[in-house]
Chains A and B, each alone.
Chain A
Amino acid sequence: MEPTAGDLTDPLINHADGQLFLHEAFKIIVEEVLCKGTDVKEKVCEWREPEELARLLDLELREKGEPQENLLQRVRDVAKYSIKTSHPRFFNQQFAGVDYHSLAGRFLSEALNTNLFTYEVAPVFVLMEAEVLRGLRALVGWTEGDGLFCPGGSTSNMYAMNLARYRLYPEVKSQGLWSLPQLTVFTSPESHYSVKKGAAFMGFGMDNVILVKGAVPFLVSCTSGTTVQGAFDPLDRIANVCDKHKLWLHVDAAWGGSVLFSKKHSHLMKGVHRANSVAWNPHKMLVAGLQCSVLLLKDTTDLLKKCHCANATYLFQQDKFYDVNLDIGDKTVQCSRKVDCLKLWLMWKAVGSAGLEQRVDKAFLHARYVVDQMKKRDGFQLLRDVSSHLNQPEFVNVCFWFIPPSLRGKEKNPDYQNRLAKVAPVIKERMMKQGTMMVGYQPLGDRVNFFRITILSPLVSHKDMDFFLDEIERLGNDL
């Protein structure tokens, strides 16, 4: 197997073959994923049990490679058995739909395959990321500040906690938690679980999220757009408390942040400019494509860099021939960092803030429509909590139970809750096995399994909403 001198003289990879493979594979991607994947006549998912799917995919990695036709078939198989998250009837998560400009941005980011740690290897994207962050900060109401793109909102939230800790006790970076008093984080029960995961990961301990007597609160993490119900914490009021006690105010707007594009709905985040940090995931409501998560900071003292830097000399040489402040890599906890700004930048360029605003507003309209329709039908019962006195959801999450005919009017029965809890899982199983749509369900507190539909895709119309309600009925009427 020892390479001969001749082997070292010629390049090994044949680029013509590789480019042909790219060409052919792209055709399949377009046909199977983009075309069929957004076609309402096609299935949302092609369900298979894990063991069967493993067989179908022929997962084993072997000594020898395969010819191109095999590989292209694999591309088809991967497409076939993957979930069509851009399908008009995919409502399962807080992302959906497809924007073709951001998709082009994503393909381009992958093709250019670089890292964002230094200006020298990513000149275009260092500048672009800064501009996108500036634009997002402006929507928050900040004319200056800092920030970066993170691999997910969980990481953004973790950064906020780390920065708040560092600001209060800068010595923690070198000395650790040993010398500090017990620190606590305040957050609401509906906040995202990444606050807890972050607390465990960073040494605070999950128990110290919420409230402990005698401890030192250092951060309040509030949520703009809770995961399940889409509720918005009252930021102005919380900011009053934080200002008074000098607590770091972090706003987890991973889900709800995009309302800031909408003149009509940005009031939901009134007061956000008073926060210290904001986490916002454009890959959710703005359809930028996974992953696209930002952390925005009001700070202008280079806190991000001071908190995280390790000054590695093999990357951040101080004697470079360009302004080394452009090497932003030491602001992050990562080393390699993907280019996630292009997908948002290209889309924003293409449709403008006005275009993004329209999307946000449309999502609200769809949610209102669904709720209105539900009220007209028997068997759909909304969770009331986040509705206003008009029984409208605050955001675009619509949470409801489907009560099959057999259970209607039987609320007083002792086994009602138990039986109701079993309805959603069965309907979910049926919809997935038939591939007609996907919507999530979960319990919450003492409320048994209910559905949560989140409407955000620009591909969706009223017909899909009608279909959704019809389908729930069709799948669940016999339960």
Chain B
Amino acid sequence: MNLYVINFKGQTTVGELMNPEKGSPGAVEDMEAAESFIQQAMEIILQEAVKKATNVKEKVCEWRSPEQLKELLDLELKDTGESESKILQCCRDAIRYSVKTGHPRFFNQLFAGLEPHSMVASFIIEAIKTSQYTYEMAPVFTLIEDALLKTMMKLIGWEEGGDGLFNPGGSMSNMYAVNLARYRYCPDFKEIGMYASPRLVMLTSQEGHYSIAKAAALLGFGTKNVYVGAVPFFVNATAGTTVLGAFDPIDEIADICEKHNLWLHVDACWGGGALVSKKHKHLLKGIQRVNSVAWNLHKMLMATLQCSAFLVRDKSCLLQRCHCAGASYLFQQDKFYDVSYDTGDKSVQCSRKPDAFKFWLVWKAVGTRELEYRVDRALALARYLAQEIKKREGFSLVIEPEFANVCFWYIPPSLRNLPESPELWKKLHTVAPVVKERMMKSGSMMIGYQKHVDKPNFFRMVVISPQVSRQDLDFVLDEIHSLGKDL
């Protein structure tokens, strides 16, 4: 596919810019060279990382062992630079040996597929290259983030609105929730720390994401103080658990939290996508009652990584008060515009990427109805897969899927019709790792497996991408059998 040709008009301008001294290499000394390089790089990206990478006839991954890969990539950083053709080859190699997460047969994580509008937004963000700490630095993105957060709050059901921001990941959003709850409980902690306070504990379900534990460690509570304890101040409910895709009953939990004045946070990083579906949003029934929500748009709704929203049902600037440090080199109070548009002090970060744009552009492009349709379709496919699993010999569901996670065992013929026993579980436990190895080495697909509590390794299929269809799911089951039948 031939690309267009653009002339960078900057040629003479750059000539003016470059004074008697030579500019540094790699900088934009020669605009034509820069233009040519970027065009060639983009052509490679479009062909190899977009077109080929989403083609079902291509491999999902080109497996190499670490030692082999190190040799192939020539990673060493030297004193002198390399030629343009070598650099372009580096790009090609990086693509070739990377996993094609946009491939229709990539089911390994809670993100998948390729959303072209979001990708365009990502490219814009990279080209514009700014930070969202102040309105002056990111006027467009500040307004877009605000508009998107407000729309998300409407979906949650917060009529009076609230506050929020985008974070580098859902783990961070969960940490913010813990921090806010602590701050609300006792604002003095911000200044004096927690030493003199009674031991505070956090409650979460067993299937809650491990970021709650990491939050407990990082924020000074201690991982032991997640579950049992002294003074509860924070409850974490999960809407869409990582492995099984289960949803905590938010309404019931909210009853208890309201009664005892506990901060209720819902980790909806994975399951939040259901809120765009009239048919499925009941899974998060009661969510309008909670204090805060974490929702990752880069998962089910396919924004590019990262696109993690943190939303809090508060209009008292709690987020700002909790995190602010009032740095005078950024948040001057005598600016010539309304400084409440400077969002930076709400965050624990300083520089912050304008991630909201990645999803705003998608929403603009396709509209809520299409987003809803995508979610409904993904869940219909998950149900289809569950039905097929029930029909096939050698496949056994772990539980009936509630969402887009379909968890199942593959039982090779040699293990079928054997009585259930610890020995059987032990043998079954070894099946998935081998099938996984084989699928990765052939590059035909990628699916995750894990053990869970006392259950032996089982596969977790996650259905997200609108590019996936029934044939791909049929293929998955066929392929697992093909790869594992001799075990």
Contacts and interface: CB of A to CB of B under 8 A. Distances in A.
A60 B151 CA distance: 8
Interface in B326-358: 326-330, 332, 334-338, 341, 348-353, 357
B16 A463 contact: yes
- Among B123, B151, B361, B372, the one with the most A-chain Cβ atoms within 10 Å of its Cβ is B123
A103 B341 CA distance: 29
A98 interface: yes
A62 B28 CA distance: 41
B300 to A, nearest CB: 14
A206 B368 CA distance: 43
B191 interface: yes
A132 interface: yes
B211 to A, nearest CB: 6
B469 A8 contact: yes
Interface in A333-377: 333-338, 342, 345-355, 358-359, 362, 365
A187 interface: no
B50 A135 contact: no
A39 B10 contact: yes
Contacts of B81: 349-352, 354-355
B181 interface: no
A93 B129 CA distance: 12
Contact of B26 (A77, A101, A125): A101
Interface residues of B, number: 194
B391 interface: no
Contact of A111 (B45, B131, B466): B45
B451 to A, nearest CB: 6
Interface in A185-220: 192-194, 196-208
Nearest to B380: A3
A113 B305 contact: yes
A193 B324 CA distance: 10
B399 interface: no
A321 B334 CA distance: 59
Interface string B163-182: 00000111110010001000
B282 interface: no
Contacts of A92: 136-137
Given A82-B139, A85-B129, A205 B170 contact: no
A463 B194 contact: no
Interface in B52-87: 53-54, 61, 63-66, 69-70, 73, 75-82, 86-87
A162 B348 contact: no
A290 B216 CA distance: 29
A18 interface: yes
A92 to B, nearest CB: 7
Given A8-B384, A194-B350, A326-B66, A82 B138 contact: yes
A473 B356 CA distance: 39
A470 B478 CA distance: 72
Contacts of A63: 367-369
A110 B467 CA distance: 19
Contacts of B329: 227-228, 440, 442, 444, 452
Given A310-B210, A349-B87, 8 more contacts: A13-B465, A23-B3, A33-B128, A128-B73, A336-B305, A354-B81, A425-B336, A463-B17
Given A22-B46, A26-B123, A201-B348, A123 B99 contact: yes
Looking at chain A, what size class is its interface with the partner chain? 35 or more
A285 to B, nearest CB: 12
B157 interface: no
A416 interface: no
B79 to A, nearest CB: 5
Interface in A12-39: 12-13, 15, 17-19, 21-23, 25-27, 29-31, 33-35, 37-39
Q: Which 4 A-B pairs have the closest CB atoms?
A: A203-B220, A176-B222, A205-B193, A458-B27
A75 B120 contact: yes
B26 A350 contact: yes
A108 B94 contact: yes
Interface string B183-221: 000000111111101010000000001110110111111
A258 interface: no
A458 B30 CA distance: 12
Nearest to A360: B24
Nearest to A16: B51
A90 B190 CA distance: 36
Interface stretch (A114-122, A242-250, A378-386, A407-415): A114-122
A312 B3 CA distance: 45
A407 B191 CA distance: 41
Contacts of B168: 151-152, 155, 334, 338
A71 interface: yes
